[in-house]
A and B are shown apart, each in its own frame.
Chain A
Amino acid sequence: QAQLQQWGAGLVKPSETLSLTCEVVGGSLSGYHWTWIRQAPGKGLEWIGEVNHLGGSSYAASLKSRVTILVDKSTNQFSLTLRSVSGADTAVYFCARGLGAVDGRRWFDTWDQGALVIVSS
């Protein structure tokens, strides 16, 4: 059973760039949609975006201008970059494995434990 392990800076200054990486351990990148989801303190889940093993990506409309999600097949990792952050980007960030079908179905069967990223000077 694949597991996900995430790392990155836990404190980012306003206007700077948030970077997180998630490694897929014990599984393949192929056939899945590698996803970032976040949760602001006391709030609900927010889908940030996803990338497939071929590098095709899609992003939440509200974040599209600031976010990039990439996949690296050589290291079995995928990454999140969020530019020009503000306090509103303070959240627990989760990486997750998405399954689905061409008709748009999507569900997330594997999650990492999440990491709190604080945006503060």
Chain B
Amino acid sequence: SSEVTQDPVLSVALGQTATITCRGDSLKYFYTSWYQQKPGQAPTLLIYNRNDRASGIPDRFSGSYSGTTASLIITGAQAEDEADYYCCSRDLSGKLVIFGGGTKLTVL
């Protein structure tokens, strides 16, 4: 498949670790980036090149990768981390950019 999929919802207790996953065959060959989107706002780049943190992003955000799964890890989740998170990569042809369907993170 040329799609990448995410779990639609995830909950995490305040201060605990949240792992948001992105799955797809193309992830074995192409790098992933991650975006945070809060209501009414444009997405913000968090992670690129699978695990490079964008400028100004807190170090509690990190990326990892194994096989056909990429993960965004939030270590010590804060209330302000409640948002939608999207992964982004390439389809299997390598010609097109694709986004995952997004994960809505709730911080309890």
Are B45 and A44 in touch, CB under 8 angstroms?
no
Are A107 and B42 in touch, CB under 8 angstroms?
no
Are B42 and A46 in touch, CB under 8 angstroms?
no
Of residues 35 through 72 on chain B, the ones whose CB sits less than 8 Å from some CB of chain A are 35, 37, 41-45, 48-49, 54
Are B90 and A106 in touch, CB under 8 angstroms?
yes
Is there a chain A Cβ closer than 8 Å to B12's Cβ? no
Which of A58, A108, A109, A114 has its CB near the most chain B CB atoms (within 10 A)?
A108
Is there a chain B Cβ closer than 8 Å to A89's Cβ? no
Interchain CB contact (< 8 A) of A44 among B44, B96, B100: B100
Which residue of chain B has its CB nearest to the CB of A113? B42
**How far does the alpha carbon of A105 sit from the alpha carbon of B51 in the complex, in Å?**
13
User: A-B contact count, CB below 8 Å?
Assistant: 62
- Residues of chain B within 8 A (CB-CB) of A46 are 99
* Interface size class, chain B: 20 to 34
CB distance from B22 to the nearest CB of A (A): 12
Of residues 64 through 121 on chain A, the ones whose CB sits less than 8 Å from some CB of chain B are 94, 99, 103-109, 111-114
The interface residues of chain A, by DSSP majority, are classed as strand
Interface, chain A (partner B; CB < 8 A): 35, 37, 44-47, 50, 58, 60-61, 94, 99, 103-109, 111-114
Besides the known contacts A44-B100, A44-B102, A111-B43, 16 further A-B residue pairs in the complex with CB atoms under 8 A apart: A35-B97, A45-B35, A45-B86, A45-B88, A47-B98, A94-B43, A106-B33, A106-B88, A106-B90, A107-B33, A107-B45, A107-B88, A108-B45, A109-B45, A111-B42, A113-B41
Could you list some 7 contacts between A and B, CB below 8 A?
Answer: A47-B88, A50-B97, A104-B90, A106-B33, A107-B49, A108-B43, A111-B42
In the complex, the 9 A-B pairs of residues with the closest C-beta atoms, listed nearest first: A107-B48, A107-B33, A111-B42, A47-B97, A44-B102, A45-B99, A105-B31, A44-B101, A104-B94
